[in-house]
Amino acid sequence: MIHQSLFVYSGYRYFKLCILLIIASVIAYAVHAPVDGPNGGTWLGYTLGGLGAFIILLLMWFGIRKRSYKSDMGKVQGWLSAHVYLGLALIVIATLHAGFQVGWNIHTLAYVLMFIVIISGIFGVYAYLRYPELMTKNRRGNTLELILIEMSELDRECREAAAQLTDEINKCILDCSENTKIGGSICQQLSGKNANCATQAALNKVSELNKLLPREMAADASRLMTLLGKKHELVQRARRDVQYKAIMDIWLYFHVPISFALLAALTAHVVSIFFYW
């Protein structure tokens, strides 16, 4: 197996590094017993705080590295591997830095924002682990574009099959080919469903109308149903494809902006501490 996921990257290099960091921080925290209880203002507090701030900057620099296409400063995969593990280690480091103190202040705001970023990141990791494979399976070797082409081909065949049938059925088929939407609003994309699906509607209606047809039309009618069924299946697959992609993308719309908010809160936190010192 030559392909390697970002978790095992380079023999778990960053996983090991983070475990070491966490163990060191926990031991230091356990051993250290300041007079006024653990907090950010002790030597250990400053050390852990400095380390945490450095890690946050490093994690944010990932965005730069990812876009520096000519850079030869390590592979992006290595950066992401470090990004994931260091981000998780931050939970421990930042919490120990705060000495479990929370309050209604700028410091806790930074802490909370950090947590939101990390949680969205964890969701991202989950999405990256789960959806790529589902997406491949769902596509069955095709691209979304090919699925859409196949759909319009089926539309054409449906129109042909319906040509000898009633006007009402033809209207349904026309509606199905013109009004079936893939994608749509964020909710529709994320759910992979469409309450007003024209193909589903056509399928239901045509099956009703078919019952009223004279016997000589039965062959055409059943062919039409098969075609509609195929199309419905494709529509569902296309929507699922869009859904998976949306899920893999959506969390970044929280992860990135909130990390900038975190950067602002962090700056305020650091400045205020030195200001009031």
Partner 1 sequence: MADFKIAIIGSGPGGMSAAAHAAELGLSHVLLESTDHLSDTIFKYQKGKHVMDEPQVLPLRSPLDFSAGTREHILETWNTQVAGHNTNVKYNTEVTAISGEKGNFSIETKSGETFTAEFVVMGIGLQGNLRKLGVEGEDLDMVQYQLDDPDEYADETIVVIGAGDAAIENALALTKQNTVIIVNRKDEFSRAKQGNEDGINKAIDTGVITPYYFANTVKVEQFDEALGSGEIGKIVLSTKNGEAQVNCHRIIARLGAIAPRRFVQSCGIEFPSDDPAAVPALTDQYESNVPGLYIVGALAGYPLIKSAMNQGYEVIEFIEGNDVEPADEPLLKAKFNSFSVRNDNMSVSSVLEMITTNVPLLSGLTTLQLREFMIDSDMRTPAEGEIIFERNDFTNTFYSIVNGEVEVQINPQDPSQRISLSKGAFFGEMSLISGHRRSATILAGKNCVLIETPRRSMNKTISSVESVKRVIDEAFLMRALQAKIAPNTSIEKLQSVISTATLQNFKAGEELFREGDDGDTLHLVRAGSLTVSKTVGGKEVVLSYLPAGNYVGEMALFGDSTRSATIRAAVATETICLDGDAFRKLADEDEDVRKRVQEVIDSRQQVNVQMEDNSDSGTIISFLVEQGLGEATDVLLIDESLCVRCDNCEKACAETHYGTSRLDREAGPTFASLHVPTSCRHCEHPHCMQDCPPDAIHRAENGEVYIANNCIGCGNCQRNCPYGVIQMALVSKKQKSGLFSWLLTGAGIAPGGHDATAAKKDPDAKKMAVKCDMCKDISGGPSCVRACPTGAAIRVNPGEFMSVTNLENY
Contact footprint for partner 1 (CB under 8 A):
1-6, 9, 64, 66-72, 75-77, 79-80, 127-128, 131-133, 135-136, 139, 141, 143, 145, 245, 248
Shortest separation between residue 234's beta carbon and partner 1, angstroms? 18
Integer Cα distance of 139 and 242 in angstroms: 11
9-31 and 76-98 helices, crossing angle to 10°: 10
The DSSP letter of residue 41 is T
Nearer to partner 1, 141 or 214 (CB): 141
Shortest separation between residue 179's beta carbon and partner 1, angstroms? 27
Shortest separation between residue 220's beta carbon and partner 1, angstroms? 36
* Helices marked H in 140-217: 144-162, 167-179, 186-191, 198-210
Shortest separation between residue 164's beta carbon and partner 1, angstroms? 38
Shortest separation between residue 128's beta carbon and partner 1, angstroms? 5
Beta-carbon contacts of 209 under 8 Å, excluding residues fewer than 6 positions away, are 166, 168, 169, 172
Nearer to partner 1, 133 or 208 (CB): 133
List C-alpha distances in Å: 36 to 13, 102, 206: 38, 16, 77
Integer Cα distance of 252 and 259 in angstroms: 10
Nearer to partner 1, 43 or 126 (CB): 126
Nearer to partner 1, 6 or 206 (CB): 6
Shortest separation between residue 244's beta carbon and partner 1, angstroms? 9
Integer Cα distance of 27 and 150 in angstroms: 61
**Identity of the amino acid at 86:** L
Shortest separation between residue 132's beta carbon and partner 1, angstroms? 5
Tell me how far apart the terminal alpha carbons of the chain are, to the nearest angstrom.
55
CA dihedral (9, 12, 15, 18) in degrees, to 10, reads -110
Alpha carbon 248 to its chain's center: 3
Integer Cα distance of 97 and 48 in angstroms: 5
Nearer to partner 1, 75 or 156 (CB): 75
Nearer to partner 1, 34 or 74 (CB): 74
Nearer to partner 1, 76 or 174 (CB): 76
Q: Are 91 and 56 in contact (CB under 8 A)?
A: no
